[in-house]
Chains A and B, each alone.
Chain A
Amino acid sequence: MSLDKAKNLDEFMEGIWRQNPVFVMALGMCPTLAVTVSAINALSMGVATTFVLVCSCLLVSLLRKVVPKEVRIATYIVIIATFVTVVDYAIQAISLTLYEALGAFIQLIVVNCVILGRAEAHSSKVPPLPAMINAAGMGVGFTIGLLALGTVREIFGNGTLFGISLFGESFQPWVIMVLPPGGFFVLGGWLMFFAWWAKRKEGSKAVPAEGHQHA
């Protein structure tokens, strides 16, 4: 694998694993908890946020040499708000039912700190290609985070996955899963799982090193 390809892959993977917006950085918690009552809502919000992330980061990167630092935040917010408006119209054109399900959280993508954070900390300092790749990785990582919550909440809270019934009519749904506390429970569960996983990985790396020292 060439050095450029390896670097691009590293940029992309950053948002999916090492700096996952939901499970590592705990950013964008508002939509993470609010819209993940179903898998389709979670997926749609993830895709919408990814679109805004990639487009905003591309434009911020393209304009990085002409935007004076004194007005950069105002500029980034205008750019992000523009692409959120585009997404807003696009979702209305695709499905009004989905638009109503996501509600005000579509417009609230403007203030999702994942996007402004990427624009300020990364895209404003690098050329367009790495900016887009990094943003895409962050978007995919955010979508994975939302889907992880949405699937669990829909399965237990409604007995369905993407609207398809899993357990038949006899299933008694755990209504709390689709209520706000359910969002916190499931997020807590996933964070616990990822913390355990990270610790386990660290442990498996540390054991051979210690073994070598003792030997």
Chain B
Amino acid sequence: MNAPATPPSAPATPTVPMIRTLGLVAALCGLIIVGAYQGSLSAVQENKRIALERAVFKVLPTAKSIGEYFATGNGVTVASGETPAGAIRFYAGYDEKGQLAGIAAEGAAKGYSDFVRILFAWVPDCQCVTGFGLVASRETPGIGDKILVDKDFLANFKALEVRLNEDMSALANEVKTVKHGTKTAPWQIDAISGATITSRAVGKGINDASQALLPRIAGHLDFIRNKP
């Protein structure tokens, strides 16, 4: 009896054509990617600049122009390029006359779903936070996002006291979010009932960022007041 005939197998592709094809495809794809990057770069940068301006103008409504700065352990410098390690990036808003309207800085703290990132405005004259906006949040729609629309919660930020102590080394009073209806001091935030975790994230974000940033810039406000 004859053995069953095995079907002829396709000849294996030699190594060199495989490498050549992969190299060709990689080079072609590389060209397309670099072309797309170069072609979109200026529009992306412009979009980022507009988004930043909008965010700062939203928390500092009287500002008409922005200055970007780094706060390092050694002082304050005008920002350029990436933020150096250990430095904090912040923004100064200037009004029509070029007067300092306030400082805007980012803060972040863990919320219910993820980190709640905010941009808040601090005004040196009153040493208070006068507003905040969301940079990124994945909080529950209809619950966590009340922080942007709840009138009672937003009333906390008409003039939330964020004052430095006498030697300007830390905040005089920690910014703290308290249960709804129990606010007794101007540095406390009255939480939204039912959205306490997100409310706390806002308070902690402001507190942590202020504790890190304000002592660094307190001695350099005159430098910041002179618009670059």
Query: Chain A interface (Cβ within 8 Å of chain B)?
Result: 37, 63, 66-71, 74-75, 78-79, 81-83, 85-86, 89-90, 92-97, 100, 157-158, 173, 175, 178-179
**B140 CB within 8 Å of chain A:** yes
B25 and A67 form a contact (CB under 8 A): yes
Residues facing A in B133-155 (CB within 8 A) are 136, 140-143
Q: By DSSP majority rule, is chain B's interface helix, strand, loop, or mixed?
A: helix
Query: Chain B interface (Cβ within 8 Å of chain A)?
Result: 12-13, 17-18, 21-22, 24-26, 29, 32-33, 36-37, 39-40, 43-44, 47-48, 51, 136, 140-143
Q: Report the separation of the CA atoms of residues A79 and B22 in the bound assembly, to the nearest whole angstrom.
A: 11
Known contacts A69-B13, A71-B21: does B136 contact A100 (CB below 8 Å)? yes
Q: State how many angstroms separate the Cβ of A70 from the closest Cβ of chain B.
A: 6
A82 and B32 form a contact (CB under 8 A): yes
Q: Report the separation of the CA atoms of residues A105 and B222 in the bound assembly, to the nearest whole angstrom.
A: 45
A86 and B36 form a contact (CB under 8 A): yes
A71 and B44 form a contact (CB under 8 A): no
B47 and A95 form a contact (CB under 8 A): yes
Known contacts A93-B47, A96-B48, A175-B142: does B32 contact A68 (CB below 8 Å)? no
Cβ-closest chain A residue relative to B31: A82
B18 and A70 form a contact (CB under 8 A): yes
**B residues near A37, Cβ cutoff 8 Å:** 141
Nearest first, the 5 A-B pairs at minimum CB distance are: A175-B142, A93-B43, A82-B29, A68-B13, A89-B40
Known contacts A79-B29, A82-B29, A173-B142: does B40 contact A93 (CB below 8 Å)? yes
Cβ-closest chain A residue relative to B17: A68
Q: Report the separation of the CA atoms of residues A95 and B17 in the bound assembly, to the nearest whole angstrom.
A: 42
A175 and B141 form a contact (CB under 8 A): yes
Q: Report the separation of the CA atoms of residues A66 and B23 in the bound assembly, to the nearest whole angstrom.
A: 12
**A residues near B44, Cβ cutoff 8 Å:** 89, 92-93
Q: A70-B18, A71-B21, A175-B140 are in contact. List 5 more A-B contacts (CB 8 A).
A: A66-B24, A79-B25, A81-B29, A86-B36, A92-B44
Known contacts A68-B17, A82-B29, A85-B36: does B47 contact A96 (CB below 8 Å)? yes
A89 and B25 form a contact (CB under 8 A): no
Residue of A66, A82, A97, A100 most packed against chain B (CB within 10 A): A82
B25 and A86 form a contact (CB under 8 A): no
Q: Report the separation of the CA atoms of residues A74 and B36 in the bound assembly, to the nearest whole angstrom.
A: 22
Known contacts A85-B33, A86-B32, A93-B47: does B25 contact A75 (CB below 8 Å)? yes
Q: Report the separation of the CA atoms of residues A18 and B29 in the bound assembly, to the nearest whole angstrom.
A: 33
11 contacts between A and B (CB under 8 A): A67-B25, A68-B17, A70-B18, A75-B21, A82-B33, A85-B33, A86-B36, A93-B43, A100-B136, A173-B142, A178-B142
A63 and B25 form a contact (CB under 8 A): yes
A179 and B140 form a contact (CB under 8 A): yes
Q: State how many angstroms separate the Cβ of A66 from the closest Cβ of chain B.
A: 6
A89 and B13 form a contact (CB under 8 A): no
Q: State how many angstroms separate the Cβ of A87 from the closest Cβ of chain B.
A: 9
Q: Report the separation of the CA atoms of residues A18 and B25 in the bound assembly, to the nearest whole angstrom.
A: 33
B33 and A68 form a contact (CB under 8 A): no
Known contacts A67-B25, A78-B26: does B40 contact A92 (CB below 8 Å)? yes
Cβ-closest chain A residue relative to B43: A93
B51 and A96 form a contact (CB under 8 A): yes
Q: State how many angstroms separate the Cβ of A201 from the closest Cβ of chain B.
A: 38
